[in-house]
Amino acid sequence: MSNSDLKMASDGDSVDLEVEIEDNAEEKEVAEQNGEVSTSSEPSSKRKPRKLNRQHSKENPSVHTGFIHGPRSWKNSRRSRNGHGRGLPKKGGAGGKGVWGVPGSELLEAYEDVNDPNYDYENLNSGDIELKVVIPKVSMEDLKKKIEPIMLEYFENGDTHEAALSVQDTISLKFRDIFVQIGIEISMDHKPSHREMTSVLISDLFGHVINEIDITKAFESLLVNLPDLILDIPDAPTIVGNFIARAIADDCIPPKFLITAKVKSGEKNFQEAVSRADTLLSMKHGLVRLHNVWGVGGALRPVKYLTRQMTLLLQEFVSSGDIEEASRCLHSLEVPHFHHELVYEAIVMALEANSAVKEEALCKLLKSFDAAVLLTQDQMERGFLRVYEDLPDISMDVPLAYIILDRFVDRCSKQGFLSEVVISKLPSRGRKRYVSEGDQQFLKTYKIS
């Protein structure tokens, strides 16, 4: 059979197939019009949906008018291939090898498998757990451990702003009264200058860090605890009374606090502290004077004031002989760099007195101060050397100054607290003698070479 015969046969078959399809379609339409339903057991043939052209497929290269990508680009492309895509990645970017899902989708998973070894039985979503607010209990010792470093650092730098920031970061609002109470107790163990700094701190923090209620509660607690405080600080009632009076003068608490406090307790120390504050406030110009209730700081005091206080200290010691009281007064002045003035005034007092009893008393005082290290060796030497320098002027008022000083230095050197520098530099005034005519026979002739 020739090729032309095969072609004619195939054309004939295709024509018969088309005629048969058309006949079947006409019969189906007639049956539908007559209401006949086909009950044949043969399943009706499913009509395949029309296959759309893939815009980015290698099967339809005719749609591309430009550059045709290679097979690998088709393989790795995440764009939709159904022809209806918007150019977005498949599965929202969660598709592809080694991808477990959209980033963050693990946080949105609502289903949890109970059989999972990592299943959390205390999960909040299970519904059998109830949360309650728990406020930890803070003891007084824990608060003191937090407050003490703040106060000690403030005593070193004197910066109230830094102290305020530390209190706001460390101490909660409901413990601010404890902060005031412990701060005052710490300052009671320190110098009067530190108590003055504590009063300034309370005044500066008032209004934005602490309030009137906190300060009132603190003073009430201090008044109640006075029997315990007085064991370590004998003058605790006086100090607490000074703090209360100073707080009233600084407008931190109202004056009616004293009126209400008087009727709360009849304890002796309690009433003593309240009476002390009431007395300070009742003085003439009391509110103005309370700004110096703790005195002026050592380095801020004028030199004349310090000299006067040291002179009074020496006079009181000569009359009473109480070394312990003299030591306390010298320590309260807080001027260790100015202690050479005490040595100077003691020596001048001994020269002016010209009394062996006073010389012995003053020598005993200087020895006790040296033994207690209240007077350093440097301050002792400086005081004696100052007297040596001013001795010509002192001798104008005290003619026997050289003789008395020689006797006093000898007495002190026997006590063993003078250095060799002080003893070696002791001045001596040469004696001038006018030779008369009858004394020439007693003079020795010297050959001047």
Return the C-alpha torsion angle 243, 244, 249, 251, nearest 10.
110
Helix axes 176-188, 212-224, angle to 10 degrees: 50
Amino acid letter at 217?
K
Give me the domains of the chain, ranges plus CATH numbers: 140-291 (1.25.40.180), 303-425 (1.25.40.180)
pLDDT per position as a tens digit, 181-228: 999 999 999 888 888 889 999 999 998 899 999 999 999 999 999 999
* The pLDDT of residue 272: 92
DSSP 332: H
* The pLDDT of residue 122: 66
Which residues of the chain register pLDDT less than 50?
1-15, 17, 19, 30, 36-43, 51-58, 61-67, 432-434, 439-440, 442-449
- Helix or strand holding residue 6 (H, E): helix 3-34
* The pLDDT of residue 293: 78
pLDDT per position as a tens digit, 71-114: 555 566 666 566 566 666 666 667 677 777 777 777 776 666 77
Question: Is 375 in contact with 310 (CB distance < 8 Å)?
Answer: no
pTM over 0.85: no
Residue recorded with tokens 């072609």 = 7
Q: What is the separation, in whole angstroms, between the first and last Cα of the chain?
A: 171
